[in-house]
Structure formats: structure tokens, C-alpha cells
Amino acid sequence: MPLLVLLLLLFTPPFSLSTPPLPSVDVDLLEFALNLEYLEAEFFLWGALGYGLDRIAGNLSAGGPPPIGVRKANLDPFVRDIVTQFGYQEVGHLKAIKQRVKGFPRPLLDLSAKNFATVVDNAFGEALKPPFDPYANGLNYLLASYIIPYVGLTGYVGANPNLQSSVAKRLVAGLLSVESAQDAVIRTLLYEQLDKKVHPYNISVAEFTDKISILRNKLGGAGIKDEGLVVPPELGAEGKISGNVIAGDENSIAYARTPEEILRIVYGTGNASKPGGFFPNGGDGRIARSYLGKEEY
């Protein structure tokens, strides 16, 4: 017995030098997440710094086309500092995912003011005049940011129970945690300005977030998985409070979305087979491609 233990110890390396390949379901789910991480990285880096992945880590964009219409936002130093941190966090996320899966080049992203204005017009069911400009000032940029990391967050919650390997679970828990923290920071900064009117519209910050969340619920087509900053008390924590700085279900557990629901939202079409919105040519990776009829065999 002691001899056997000794032999085992001798022939078991102290740490493994190469990690085994991930199960294909894990690869697919991690690659799906890359789509959203690319979107967030470019939006935050450009918004804060006026340049994006091609300048910061060109290997991560891997030759994908440059994003449409993205630009530096007119931010005060406080918000710019926070958004710069978010941008670099997304670079880390892309690196961490690409260390585990092959991935794909950055998909074509539409981060133009026009695309955000379309989302906002759809949320209000009418064209705002002048059109909403995400890059005009810090408040508008935070409202535009409200549109983005939350979708990734619900996707990670949805992916988690389907992951098989502990390596992918560990990675997704870490990604989820930071995305969720970003969402909480954005929501808190907006919560401080709840009643403020979003210039030049006669619309409050609270109403903006409410309408955007309602739109996402509608596009997702799977009931309530999104909540604004002020909700009817039935939707607040324990059904007792209308302040809603963090979204969650009846037990304040984060909502989960499937990849299909996420595609319906980020395409803005309510249809995972019909690209548009932030992804004019659709997402990449096996899952997104399967809805586009582009499966590889």
C-alpha cells in the first residue's frame, strides 16, 4: 500500500501543464459570450478613451471589421474613470475566454448613435426629437450602458446550469460576477438621478430605464426578466418596495436568459434568425450561427 501511494505520487505530475479540451457544450456557451464581450469592450473603451481593441489589443479583434459609428463620449472625469475601468475589464474578459476557446474575430458591431436612438425610439414607441445621442453627455452614456452589460449578465446566469466542466463554471462565475458589478454601478449612478429629466426630453431617468427594460422583455419573448429602477412594489425585493437598484426575481435571484432570447434582444428584431441592431451581420460562434442557418458540419 505505501509503495503504491509512493508510485502514484511519483507518476502524478504536481500540476497539469496543459488543460484538457473543454466539452463542446462549454465551448459553444463560452464562444457565445464572446459576442457580448466584444460589444461591451468596444463600447466602453471607445466611450472613455476614443479608441478600442484595435489599438489596445489588436490580436483580440483578430481582423474583424471595425465597429460602426462608435466614438468617444462627452464624459466628466468621474464617469470616464469608471468607464475606462469597465473597458479594460472587458479586455481581460476577452483574453480569459480566448485562453479557453478558439473563438472568432470580432463580429461587425453597430454602436452608432443612430442605432441607440432606434432602440430608445422602439422603447418609447415614438421617435424622440432630437434623436437620443448616447455619446452626448455622461447621463446619456449611462443610459446607453444600461442597455448593454445587463444582457450579458442574464446570459451568464442562463449558461451556468448547462456547463459541464469545472473550468468553464469557474470562468463563467468570475465573468458573471464582474458583469453584475458593472451593472450595479451603472444602475446606482442612474438611481442617484432617478427624477432628473433626460435633456432635452420631458422624460425622467426612471422612465427611461423602465421603458428600456419593458422593450427587452418584449423582444426576449420570455416574460419579465428585466426591470427598471422603479417598479410596482410587487416586483421589488420581497414584493415590498418599489425602489429597484438591482433587478431580480421574487426571491431576488438574478434572471436567466437563453442565447436565443439574448440574440432576439441584441438584434433588436425579437428574432434570433433575423440579425440587426448591434449585430448587423449577426453574432458568431456555433450557437449564433445555428440560428442564422450557417451551421458548419
Give contact residues for ligand NAG (rule: CB under 6 A): 57, 59-60, 95, 98, 202, 271, 273-274
179 vs 2, 146, 153, 155, 242, CA distance in Å? Answer: 48, 12, 6, 10, 24
Q: How far is the CB of 250 from ligand NAG (least distance, A)?
A: 29
Q: Is the Cβ of residue 150 or residue 208 nearer to ligand NAG in the bound state?
A: 208
Q: How far is the CB of 136 from ligand NAG (least distance, A)?
A: 20
Backbone phi and psi for residue 125, each to the nearest 5 degrees, phi listed first: 70, 20
1 vs 13, 43, 188, 204, 214, CA distance in Å? Answer: 20, 60, 60, 73, 65
Q: How far is the CB of 271 from ligand NAG (least distance, A)?
A: 4
Q: How far is the CB of 270 from ligand NAG (least distance, A)?
A: 8
Q: Is the Cβ of residue 59 or residue 188 nearer to ligand NAG in the bound state?
A: 59
79 vs 14, 49, 75, 226, CA distance in Å? Answer: 46, 12, 6, 24
- Dist CA 27 CA 163 (whole Å): 9
Q: How far is the CB of 22 from ligand NAG (least distance, A)?
A: 16
Q: Is the Cβ of residue 72 or residue 197 nearer to ligand NAG in the bound state?
A: 197
Q: Is the Cβ of residue 59 or residue 281 nearer to ligand NAG in the bound state?
A: 59
Q: Is the Cβ of residue 171 or residue 254 nearer to ligand NAG in the bound state?
A: 171
